[in-house]
Every structure is written in C-alpha cells, then in structure tokens.
Amino acid sequence: MSGAATIDGPKFAHERSALSGRLSIAALPRLAESGCRSAEIRYTLEGRMDAAGKAGLRIKVDGDVEVSCQRCLQGLPVPMSVDADLELTASRDAAEAAEDGVDRVVASRSMSVAELVEDELLLALPMVPMHAACAAPAKDDGARPMPFAALAELRKRGAG
C-alpha cells in the first residue's frame, strides 16, 4: 500500500472497514526528520463504533525503525509495536477540551493513513534511544598528540 492512501474517516468507522499495508521511511517524512534512518512498518487500520455510538479507529503497527544511539551515535534498531484506539471527533477544540484520557483525532473525509501511522510511531519512539552497552570507542593510535602531554613534560623539567 502506498503512503498516499487516504480514508474518509467517519465513513470508514461507520462501515467498520479494514485496511492493511506496509510503509517505508520514504512515506514517513516526520519520522525521518526526527532522526530515524530507516523504517519497515506493517500496519492495520480498522474502523469501529463503540457501545455509545462513537466512531473510532484502531491502529496496529509493527516493524522496526533505526535511530541513532545517543551515547555512541551508531545505528540502533528499535522494534515497534503499537496498538492504539482513537476516537474520531468533530474538531480540535473538542478533542482538547475532553478530560477523560481518551485519545482522539479530528475526523475528516480525507485522512492520510501514513500520517495516522506516523503519529503513533512518533509517540512510541523512546525519548533517549541508547544501546544497553555501546561498543568501545576506537583506540588512539598515537598519531594525534595528547592535549596535556606537552604541559606534563614542561612540569617534569621544571621540577627536576
């Protein structure tokens, strides 16, 4: 499935439709801007109606992204697994005014599937990605002078 797919959110939910596909980093520009080097993502999107008659979407995302380790700056694969229920709402103000802990998204007739998946991935990324143990830094081969070596030598000469 292309990252360009869109759904009519309210209709998708009312009809309890389902959609699945794959996305790469090319279809997820905000994820790339956040520092992800690569991504291979599988998703499933399902429309739903709850017991109170409210429309919603269920998004399941699985796959791997590669980010930079904040210690060594090398690539760090991060397995992603997201299962989110989103209630569709008529306006951003209504979503922000609600204080019940329910995740909401503004419904429209043209909702980007890639953006919905990307939103959930961005929320699930670790704040400070790090390896459990980073590889040791490269050994100094002596070609570069040590910053205080000359000072230490001068000190030795002056003390003797």
Tell me the sheet residues that pair with 40.
24, 64
Per-residue pLDDT tens digits for 26-46: 999 999 998 888 889 999 999
Give the per-residue pLDDT at 62.
96
Mean pLDDT, range 81-86, rounded to an integer: 95
- 152, two tokens: 């230490």
Q: Which of 68, 87, 70 is nearest to 78 (CA)?
A: 68
| Lookup: tokens for 141 | 């081969």
pLDDT of residue 143: 59
Percent of the chain at pLDDT exceeding 70: 89
Residues 6+ apart with CB under 8 A from 57: 9, 12, 13, 45, 46, 47, 48, 85, 86, 88, 105, 116
Residue type, 66: E
Flag whether pLDDT at 1 surpasses 50: no
pLDDT in tens, 107-159: 999 999 999 999 999 999 998 888 888 875 555 555 566 677 777 777 777 76
> Mean pLDDT across the chain, nearest whole number?
86
C-alpha distances in Å from residue 120, one per residue of 36, 71, 113, 136: 14, 25, 11, 34
* CB count in 10 Å sphere of residue 153: 10
Q: Above 90 in pLDDT, residue 17?
A: yes
pLDDT of residue 137: 58
pLDDT at 28: 93
CB 56 within 8 A of CB 50: yes
Nearest to 64 by CA among 43, 85, 80, 42: 80
